[in-house]
Amino acid sequence: MLDLKLLRDRPEEVRQALDKRGASVDLDGILQLDRERRRLEARRGSLQAESNSLGKKVGELIRQGADPQGAEVAALRQQGADLKAEIAQLEQRERELEEEVRARLLTLPNLPLPSVPVGQDEADNVEVRRWGDELKPTHPVLPHDEVAEKLGLLEVGRAVKVAQSRFVAMVGAGAALERALIAMMLERHIAAGYTEVIPPFLVNSAALEGTGQLPKFAAESFRCADDDLWLIPTAEVPLTNLYREEVIPAERLPLYFCAYTPCFRREAGSYGRDTKGLIRLHQFQKVELVKVTHPTQSEAEHEKLVQDAEAILQMLELPYRVVELCTGDLGFSAARCFDLEVWFPSQNRYREISSCSNCWDFQARRANLRYKEAGQKGTHFVHTLNGSGLAVGRALAALLENHQQPDGSIRIPQALRPFLSSRFLSEDGALRTAP
């Protein structure tokens, strides 16, 4: 959530920053509501002072011998009662205006950092670097969904039967390979200093509001009809909200968390896109990285976060590139974001596998997540960062294509082999589908 004081003091600066994102917002309407609320607050303060003065005057008259039931005292008490009634009305209207201002602020996206390249959409994103050689196979490379079905790694039709379209069931060697990827990712991140968490897979509305999924992305989320609970779209939500409404001692920062969870998204508006395979599903597996940092640390921690996600792709020997998102392609909560895009030879292009975002204090304001310096008064908002480390299904899909051999077998990268049961690993390091 944006700082309301920033909107009051520098509205044109905020407007220009949001224009760079292509966001159409009614800042004037928010500021008008805020001015009205502050006007009422000032009026209420004046009436409260007047009410207090009347109370003192009544007490003084009675001490001087006036009849407590007399006309003069009764008239003053009636004035006091009228003032209290007006104050109560003002308080109610103030609360309504405050809630309306907050509701509107919740719809505003984060402001991009000045260093973010200006652009309209993904075509204006800026490539930062590449790693690995794009596979130019001399033999036909089957798309990952075709090779997965051919090798019996997944079931689509039966998964649809028990759920609906855009669900799959990983089976046999496919399930083992996905589990191995999750274990490898977690072990690497834990070694890098992250604390592993197994969070709730259901969260309340306040948690989704805290990280920015609500109210904007309600249509893309799965909600439990009888409870104020939602299936998580990403572990970013429960991990970032672990310390919601808390004050963290500054010396404990930064906090690093990682978690494997299933993730659930409706993929609203994506119909007709990536209908086959593991790229765009309603349920998918992901290892998520979240950092809670001191503001002075966040930019350096953002760079390290990207490197932590890159490390997994390098361990899997998957060619990829790092792309900085332009202002028009930034996620709602992000102030700056780098995407990792992995190479898919069957498509002859890179596909996103991780988004590493620095949200600055945007999520912290929504979640009231603060820190306190030792020996100093007052608290300040932390900065929050998040990134996929990695999306497991997409990593598996990229592995099936980039390590597909001329005979149709799948070579398992050396770093992954210790995490895959020997039942599914042949002597030459290929995936064994029939142990």
Average pLDDT over residues 62-76: 85
What pLDDT sits at residue 58?
82
Q: List the single range of 22-26, 58-62, 164-168, 199-203 with lowest mean pLDDT.
A: 58-62
Tokens encoding 186: 């977690």
Query: Is 280 noted as a catalytic residue in this protein?
Result: yes
Average pLDDT over residues 231-252: 98
Confidence class for position 126, pLDDT limits 50, 70, 90: very high
Tokens encoding 423: 């039942």
Confidence class for position 140, pLDDT limits 50, 70, 90: confident
Q: Which residue out of 188, 336, 394, 432 is catalytically annotated?
A: 394
Domains within the chain, CATH numbers bracketed = 4-105 (1.10.287.40), 122-424 (3.30.930.10)
Strands (E), 167-279: 169-170, 195-196, 202-203, 223-224, 229-231, 247-249, 255-264
Q: Which residue out of 324, 352, 411, 426 is catalytically annotated?
A: 352
Confidence class for position 268, pLDDT limits 50, 70, 90: low
Average pLDDT over residues 405-422: 96
Average pLDDT over residues 166-189: 97
Tell me how crowded residue 38 is: count the other CB atoms within 10 A of its CB. Answer: 13
DSSP string, 362-408: HHHHHHT-EEE-TT-SS-EE-EEEEEEEEEHHHHHHHHHHHTB-TTS
Share of the chain above pLDDT 70, in %: 97
Average pLDDT over residues 102-110: 97
Average pLDDT over residues 242-267: 96
What pLDDT sits at residue 393?
97
According to DSSP, residue 292 is labeled: E
Confidence class for position 64, pLDDT limits 50, 70, 90: confident
With 0.85 as the threshold, say if the pTM is over it. Answer: yes
**By three-state DSSP, how is residue 166 classified?**
coil
**Is pLDDT above 90 for 68?**
no
**Is pLDDT above 60 for 270?**
no
**Is pLDDT above 80 for 408?**
yes
Tokens encoding 130: 């590449």
What pLDDT sits at residue 252?
98
Mean pLDDT estimate for the chain: 94
Query: Is 265 noted as a catalytic residue in this protein?
Result: yes
**Sequence-separated (6 or more) residues with CB below 8 Å from residue 356:** 289, 302, 305, 306, 309, 337, 338, 339, 340, 385, 386, 387, 388
Q: Which residue out of 44, 265, 366, 432 is catalytically annotated?
A: 265
Confidence class for position 402, pLDDT limits 50, 70, 90: very high
Query: Is 394 noted as a catalytic residue in this protein?
Result: yes
Average pLDDT over residues 62-88: 88
Contact 298, 388 (CB under 8 A): no
What pLDDT sits at residue 269?
54
Average pLDDT over residues 359-387: 97
Q: Which residue out of 77, 223, 244, 280 is catalytically annotated?
A: 280
What pLDDT sits at residue 225?
84
The CA-atom distances, in angstroms, between 420 and each of 144, 146, 417, 430, 431 are 19, 22, 5, 11, 9
Average pLDDT over residues 173-184: 98
**Is pLDDT above 90 for 85?**
yes
At CA 151, angle to CA 147 and CA 154, rounded to 5?
85
Burial class (CB in 10 A: 0-12, 13-18, 19+), 317: middle
**Is pLDDT above 70 for 435?**
no
What pLDDT sits at residue 275?
65
DSSP string, 112-157: PPTTSPP-SSGGG-EEEEEESPPP--SS----HHHHHHHTT-EESH
**By three-state DSSP, how is residue 249 classified?**
strand
Q: Which residue out of 298, 333, 355, 357 is catalytically annotated?
A: 355
| Sheet of strand 126-131, all strands in order from the earlier edge strand to the far edge | 126-131, 320-324, 336-344, 349-358, 383-391, 283-293, 255-264, 195-196
